[in-house]
Every structure is written in C-alpha cells, then in structure tokens.
Amino acid sequence: MGLSQNENEVLRVQELSFTFPNASGPTIDRLSLSLNSSDIFFLIGPSGAGKTTLLKLLGGIYSYKAGEIYIQGAPLGRLSQSNKKLVLKRVAMTFQRSGLFDSLTVLENLLFPLRELTLLTAKERLQLAEQILRQVNLTGAESKYPFEISGGMQKRLGIARALVLQPELILYDDPTAGLDPITSHHIVDLILTAQNKKKTGTLIATSDLDLAFSVSKKTSAKIGFLCQGKLIQVGTEKEIFESRNPIIHQFTRGLLQGPLTPSELS
Amino acid sequence: MININKLCKSFDNRKILENISFSVVKGECVFILGKSGVGKSVLLKNIVGLVLPDSGTITVGEIKVDAQRPEELSLIRQRCGLVFQFPALLDSVTVFENICFGLRARGLLTSQVEIAARVKEKLKLVGLSEVVLDQMPTELSFGTQKRVSIARTLAVEPEYLLFDEPTTGMDPIATAGLNQLIKNLTVKLGVTSIVVSHDIKSALAVGTRIILLEDGGIVFDGKPGEFKSSSITLAQEFQMGFGYHA
C-alpha cells in the first residue's frame, strides 16, 4: 500500500473528509489520526463537532469518498465488500444510547453477534457470552430485557456486546452519558480493565471532561480536540487544559463568552 | 406550588419511592440528585401523571393529579413542561414543526405569524440559529436535538419546568448556556423548575435548593451551600466526580 506501518498500529486515519448529503460543508474535514494497540485516545469537542460521525465512519457505518481509514493496515475504502466485512469484525462500537435490541434478552443480545459473525458452536457461544457477562458484572440478568435493567446496566451490556467479539479496536460513544458519578466510575474501570487485559486500541468520545482529563492524567492517554470536523489539537491533558487556543480554553472552562457561541455550535 | 405528600411507588414489589414529601414554591429551582435507578425520573413522571402513585397525593397549584380526571390532567401537563432525558423529537417532521407541535395541538396559537414568531423566540432562548428550523431531527447532533426539545417545551410557556437530566450528553458550553437559561427563566420570568440531574456542578451553580434521594427516601434537603459542606457520604461522592485537578 506504500504505507510505512508499525505493527502495533491498529488505526490510521489519513486526510479523511465526509459530508452529509445536502449539508453546506463537511462534517469531517481532512482529519488524520493514528492509534496503537495499547493506546487510549479521548475525543472531546463541542456538540456537533463530528465526534459521533467520526466513530461511525471508523466503524464502517458511514462510507466515505475522500481520505482513507486503515484498520491494521487494511484500507477500508478500497476493500471489496466481503473483505471490508472481515476487517470490520475487528472493530467494535458502543452507542450513546446503548443500541441494544429491545426484543432480545440480555443473553440474546450477546449471542446475536457471536451467531452472526463467528463460526463458534452453540455451546462455545454460550460459554463465551457467560464469561463476558461475568466480566461486566451482569450475571443473573441473563433473561431480562433491556427495558427491565437500569441505564448503567444497559451501558455495561453495550460494552459486553462490544467486547464479546474480542476486537482489536473499540470505539466508545459517550459511555458515561446519563450515568451518576458513582456508576460512571464503574464504567470507566470496566473500559480500562478491558483495555489493559487485551491491549485493545480504545477510542473514547466523551462529553465528560473531568473523566477525559483525570484518566488521561493517570494513563498518559492522548486527548484530541475536535471542532467543526477538524482535530485542532492533540495532546496530553495538561497540554489541552492549558491550551492557548481560545476555542479550547473556552470549552475546557465552560465559558459562555468566547469564540464559540451556542448558536454557532448547531 | 407543587405539593408532594407521602408519595409511595413500587415496581414489581420493588419499592422505588417511599413516603416522599416536599413542596416546591414559585420561583424555586430545585435540583433532585441521586444515583441511577433511585427513582428521580419516576418522581417527575408522577407529577405529570405519566406514572401514578401507589399511595400519597400530588397537587399542582390547586389541582390534584388524578388519572380519573383527564381534563385536569391535561391542564397540569400544559402548566408543567417536561423535558425528557432523550430528546423524543418527532423524526418525520422538521425542527420548526417539532417546536410548534404543542402550540398547534393545544390550539394555543392559531395565527401562522404568531406561531413562527414564538418558535423563533424560543429557538433563540436555547441558543440555536434559525438555520436548523428546516432541518430534520436526524440531521442534528444529540446536543442540538436536546436544545430543540427544550425549545419545544418552552413554546407553550409552562409555569413549571421539569427537566430530566437536561445536560446529559451536552458539551460544557451548551451546559453553561442551559444553566444560564434555567437561571434566567427562574429569576426573570419567575418560572419554577425541578431539575433531575447527576450534574453536581450545575446543581451548585443554578439550584436554589438541592434534594438528594437514596434508597427511596430523601436524605438531604437544603441549600447548595449546605450541600457542599454536608457530611452525608453520597453528597460527598457526588461532589468528588473523577476529581481532575490540573
């Protein structure tokens, strides 16, 4: 591919652009980024900056025409449909609103991807699902439906479903949104334990700055600031928190006065 | 005034709310805090009769929340604007139609000019530009959808605003904007607000009073300053967060 590649690199994004049909400008604008298998990367930025869109592009939910996404060296945009599907098996995503199947039980939600995407036997699928349920502390809730469990449990199930295929890259979309501070701690512990156990490349879009900064400080994870589809700064928590960029300064301090006004964020 | 008296509610034999009593007077901005699943949203839904208590009573002004009296219930829902945790917008119509839905459905305004003016006024209040009016909800980010849903609630100009997790999924600037909006509505327009939230920073910045729920009961009811120095473990845990210091 003519791409100098280090073998630990799980994700490389090169000059990626994406525009929604009928939109006046691009939602993702010539964005580049790379992630190693042992990396955690936080994506922060204003509402509407393109965080969820970027995750959906990386997860293969949206297709793009400009730029390229490499998953372990494989260029998603240039692969045949069948090869793309194979490569995307290594990428898992959790959704802002968990994205669970309402009509399936907790256990069935986990068995579904295993049945669709692996060649495991029924017995192996069940064993693996039960092991993951133990890992996220949902044992005992197997036969419940998503609406019968709390928001924190739904988030844990969403994470379990992402972990069950043992991906190389996990994309978390605002994993603690709507959770109380104590439950948020449990979710973050779960994400970090999963990351540490298998050295999974981990990309976390979050609206909780306290979370991003404190985890980054502890683990040296990089933070990227996304604004109008561009990564305007990537750095350590200290570099971002002390950034001289007026947009980043306004954002991290939660100031109403500054270059960004709420109406511009729409 | 909203008065909640000895409210009890269980689901499947699990007691959620036990003997909850408190009143909210005009002009107050009460933040209700508590862990996920403690019954905060259930409490809000009881006020507008979306969930009915097992025992106890709720009155909004002079009207008792009573499922047997649908006309009075409808009046309560008009007076109490509820903002849901998730935007709950109608996907098949534009932002404009979403915001004026309640106005049209209740026949509060009939002139197209007045409706358009009201929609634009509320859109401005939540800090959105008119560009979004012709867009469909699915074209907007989550934070923007959320603000559209707040504009929709404000459009019918309720006396009471009930917010379920208003800042969830919103960025810090939008959060600051919303906090200022709630504060303005409370101080300038005399709107009474009850805000269910996990966002302790907002509660301390905007709330005139904080109620903390734990195990079905009220464990704290007081001013934000008192909450800050409270010795209750849960109150302290809430204030700790992830504890980032630069």
What's B137's DSSP letter? G
Do B184 and B153 share a domain, yes or no? no
**Residue B98 is part of which domain span?**
89-157
pLDDT of residue A5: 63
Burial per residue of B33-47, b for 16 or more beta-carbon CB atoms within 10 angstroms, e otherwise? bbbbbbbbbbbbbbb
Cβ distance A266 to B140 less than 8 Å, yes or no, reads yes
pLDDT of residue A2: 44
In a domain, residue B244? The reply is: no
Cβ–Cβ < 8 Å for A178, B169: yes
Do B141 and B188 share a domain, yes or no? no
Cβ distance A266 to B173 less than 8 Å, yes or no, reads no
pLDDT of residue A197: 86
In a domain, residue B199? The reply is: no
**Mean per-residue pLDDT over chain B, rounded:** 90
pLDDT values of chain A reduced to their tens digit, one per residue, 266 residues: 445 567 789 999 999 999 998 788 899 999 999 999 989 999 999 988 999 999 999 999 999 989 999 999 999 999 999 999 889 999 999 988 788 998 999 999 999 999 988 889 999 999 999 999 988 888 899 999 998 888 888 988 999 999 888 899 999 999 988 888 888 888 899 899 888 888 899 999 998 999 999 999 999 899 999 999 999 999 999 999 999 999 999 999 988 888 887 544 43
How wide is the angle at C-alpha B191 spanned by C-alphas B188 and B196, nearest 5°? 120
Do B151 and B168 share a domain, yes or no? no
Cβ distance A48 to B143 less than 8 Å, yes or no, reads yes
pLDDT of residue A262: 57
- Among A20, A210, A214, beta carbon nearest to B139: A20
Candidates A263, A70, A51; CA nearest to A171 is: A51
Do B49 and B120 share a domain, yes or no? no
In a domain, residue B28? The reply is: yes
In a domain, residue B231? The reply is: no
Cβ distance B241 to A210 less than 8 Å, yes or no, reads yes
pLDDT tens for each residue of B117-134: 999 999 988 888 899 999
pLDDT of residue A264: 41
The C-alpha atoms of residue B137 and residue B122 are separated, in whole angstroms, by 17
For residue B215, the chain A residues in CB contact (below 8 A) are none
Size of interface A-B (CB pairs under 8 A): 130
pLDDT of residue A265: 40
pLDDT at B113 over 90: yes
Candidates A227, A238, A204; CA nearest to A39 is: A204
pLDDT of residue B12: 83
Do B51 and B104 share a domain, yes or no? no
Q: Compute chain B's Rg from CA coordinates.
A: 18
Nearest residue of chain B to residue A227 (CA atoms): B171
| Phi, psi for residue A96 in degrees, rounded to 5 | -50, -45
The C-alpha atoms of residue A144 and residue A155 are separated, in whole angstroms, by 14
Cβ distance B141 to A47 less than 8 Å, yes or no, reads yes
Q: Which residues of B touch A (CB under 8 A)?
A: 34-37, 85-86, 126-129, 131-132, 139-144, 147, 165, 168-177, 180, 198, 200, 237-238, 240-244, 246
Beta sheet of A201-205, edge-to-edge order: A91-94, A169-173, A201-205, A40-44, A222-227, A230-235
Do B75 and B145 share a domain, yes or no? no
Report the domain count for chain B: 2
For residue A250, the chain B residues in CB contact (below 8 A) are 173
Do B75 and B163 share a domain, yes or no? yes
Do B22 and B110 share a domain, yes or no? no
Residues 108-147 of A with CB under 8 A from B: none
DSSP states along B59-127: EETTEE--TT-HHHHHHHHHHEEEEPSS----TTS-HHHHHHHHHHHTTS---HHHHHHHHHHHHHHTT
Do B146 and B173 share a domain, yes or no? no
Query: For the domain bounded by A1-90+167-178+205-258, which CATH number is listed?
Result: 3.40.50.300
pLDDT tens for each residue of B146-180: 889 999 999 999 999 999 988 887 888 888 888 88
pLDDT of residue B154: 92
pLDDT tens for each residue of B17-63: 999 999 999 999 999 999 888 889 899 999 999 899 999 999 999 99
Do B170 and B105 share a domain, yes or no? no
Cβ distance B171 to A47 less than 8 Å, yes or no, reads yes
pLDDT of residue B244: 75
pLDDT of residue B207: 95
Cβ–Cβ < 8 Å for A214, A36: no
pLDDT of residue B47: 93
In a domain, residue B74? The reply is: yes
The span from the first CA to the last CA of chain A, in angstroms, equals 38
CATH of the domain at B59: 3.40.50.300
For A62, residues 6+ apart whose C-beta sits below 8 A from its C-beta are A18, A53, A56
DSSP, collapsed to helix, strand or coil, labels residue B242 as coil
Cβ distance B144 to A48 less than 8 Å, yes or no, reads yes
**Type and span of the H or E element at B135:** none
Candidates B113, B213, B187, B195; CA nearest to B153 is: B195
**Strands B55-60 and A9-18: what pairing?**
unpaired
- The ranges assigned to domains in chain A are 1-90+167-178+205-258
Residues comprising chain A, all counted: 266
The residue written with tokens 């209740």 in the block is B106
For residue B144, the chain A residues in CB contact (below 8 A) are 47-48, 265-266
pLDDT tens for each residue of A118-169: 889 999 999 999 999 988 888 899 999 998 888 888 988 999 999 888 899 9
Do B177 and B189 share a domain, yes or no? yes
Do B72 and B169 share a domain, yes or no? yes
Q: Which of A19, A95, A217, A265 is the mutation pick for testing B, counting most B CBs within 10 A? A: A265
pLDDT of residue B198: 87
Q: Which two tokens stand for residue A23?
A: 């939109």
- Among A217, A238, A265, beta carbon nearest to B173: A265
**Type and span of the H or E element at A127:** helix A122-135
